[in-house]
Amino acid sequence: MDENLLMVAFLGFFSGYIFKTIIIGFKAFTATALFVQKVGFQSLTLLGTSVYKISYVDQLCALSLEKSGKTEEAKTMRIENEQQFEQWKKIIVEEYRENYPSDFKWQLKFDDWQGMMDELTDIYKEKKV
């Protein structure tokens, strides 16, 4: 009887320890997932703000050239800026997806620039930041 009681006590302790470890691991993973998601939202917000400011400055430069009478240079500048901007947007999306933690890639709901901007719009609408 004592051996059975000792075995039950040991198995009870061991199963409790395993259960506690699983619960703590699950809570840690959940907390980490929320942290990664918040940081992702913050970085998308920063990216959106940067894109807006860069395009604004580019437009101001082109307008300044136009007003000074250099319309051909302004047109060339706009075309170059647009090409560079498109290339930059493609690289940003690729790098963002590539460097996002692999355990949390399920959080990403986009795979192109338009999807990224749609996600950013959702973030702003739902005030997740």
Sketch the domain layout of the chain as residue ranges: 38-126
pLDDT bin (cut points 50, 70, 90) of residue 128 is low
Q: How many other C-beta atoms can be found within 10 angstroms of the C-beta atom of residue 41? A: 19
Integer Cα distance of 117 and 72 in angstroms: 31
Residues 6+ apart with CB under 8 A from 109: 115, 119
1 has a pLDDT exceeding 60: no
| Residue among 41, 46, 45 at smallest CA distance from 107 | 41
Residue 1: DSSP 8-state: -
pLDDT band at 129, cuts 50/70/90?
low
H helix intervals, the chain? 2-67, 71-99, 113-126
Assign 39 a pLDDT band (cuts: 50, 70, 90): very high
Q: Does residue 107 contact residue 33 with C-beta atoms inside 8 Å?
A: yes
Q: d(Cα 122, Cα 44) in Å, to the nearest integer?
A: 11
